[in-house]
Structure 1
């Protein structure tokens, strides 16, 4: 083989080797001109990376949406604590106020108008030193022979809960009789009153030196109210 032919074969083999190295480099993911972190378009690794980026973006978007829904804007007052306080008013405040027990109040009785003395007014003053809520109506028993409580008059029920601050009074109007001469009344010097929610009664002295006359067929009591309301408690 001549020297020229040998040189030509050598060049051809060298060129083939160089091209083979170049293809090997491309097959390993390198393009020879890509920037750092950039994948070759259309390669399996690029497709996998793009899918991962899409999933991450979707997850991020979901997390952001969830965070937005669960987040509380500053000053919005929509946190659980703010929400529980936002409906406050009388209802919520009274809901967290303890119920008055008989021992928490001092109960007295006074005549209402007259004569004839057909009604008395009960006053229950909060002596507990803290706010408390008066429930319902006074549970009154006038006579030893009548163990049932005096029935309540529904129309006297207040619209809002009766919350007494320390030292504040609540009132209840109580009907004793119709004041007629032919009524079957019995004298009462003292009687028991229990505040709803308590088990222990208080003994209340009836007004007047001779006490009061009660008729078990006529008696009735109003609900506890923060004041005596003209007309609303007439019964």
Structure 2
């Protein structure tokens, strides 16, 4: 009886251990599957969040900076008007002889953008205090905003170049900027200066470049 009872006990213990191993194996497989599923879901959820963060962070910020830079340098709404302290104005012959025109060049030396408004207000003679009149067809379609170091140009007619004209010699003259402040003294080109006829003189508008047709007068 004792031998039978011991054998029964051993068999029962073996069956119990086998059942435990089976349950453990089943439970381990389910746990691994769940972990794998959770990991896949987390990875799938993390990728879009990271992409969205990159798009809304670096990409969007860079675009905004570019837009601001473009607006700051190209829009007359944000650029102040140029003053005679912001630009260096010089004069040179245009064509000739006879020298019937000069070109004014205003270079932005301020270190910031500014707008060249309208046309140069030129006074050649003490005896004629009025400004040289502007030619409407030379007016540019868009505001002329100069970035730092950039030039603007204006063509100025002095005379028709005829011998019978009532011209007067000019070695230096004054230029003021519309809407800006200050007055610039400009040296006339040439060793003997220029000859101007108050009945014929005219000036063009400030432009980023001289244009054939619009600047021919």
TM-score, with structure 1 as normaliser? 0.61
Q: Which position in structure 2 is the counterpart of 1:138?
A: 120
Count of aligned pairs between the two proteins: 152
Counterpart mapping for 1:1-235 below 5 A? 93-235=75-217
Contact in 2 for aligned 1:90/1:161 (Cα 8 Å): no
- Aligned partner of residue 163 in structure 1, secondary structure: strand
Contact in 1 for aligned 2:73/2:147 (Cα 8 Å): no
Deviation at 1:92, TM superposition (A): 7.8
Q: Which position in structure 2 is the counterpart of 1:34?
A: none
Distance in 2 of aligned mates of 1:224 and 1:173:
8
Contact in 1 for aligned 2:108/2:147 (Cα 8 Å): yes
Distance in 2 of aligned mates of 1:128 and 1:97:
12
| Unpaired stretches in structure 1, ≥5 consecutive residues | 1-74, 76-81
* CA 1:144–1:201: 2 relative to 1, 3 Å: same
Q: Which position in structure 2 is the counterpart of 1:44?
A: none
Greater radius of gyration (CA)? 1
Deviation at 1:198, TM superposition (A): 2.8
CA RMSD of aligned residues (A): 2.0
Distance in 1 of aligned mates of 2:72 and 2:183:
28
Distance in 1 of aligned mates of 2:74 and 2:214:
26
Q: After TM superposition, where is structure 1 displaced by more than 3 Å over at least 4 residues in a row?
A: 88-92
TM-score, with structure 2 as normaliser? 0.66
**Structure with higher RCO (Cα < 8 A, 6+ apart):** 2
Going by fraction, where is helix more abundant, 1 or 2?
2
- Aligned partner of residue 102 in structure 1, secondary structure: coil
Distance in 1 of aligned mates of 2:74 and 2:89:
27
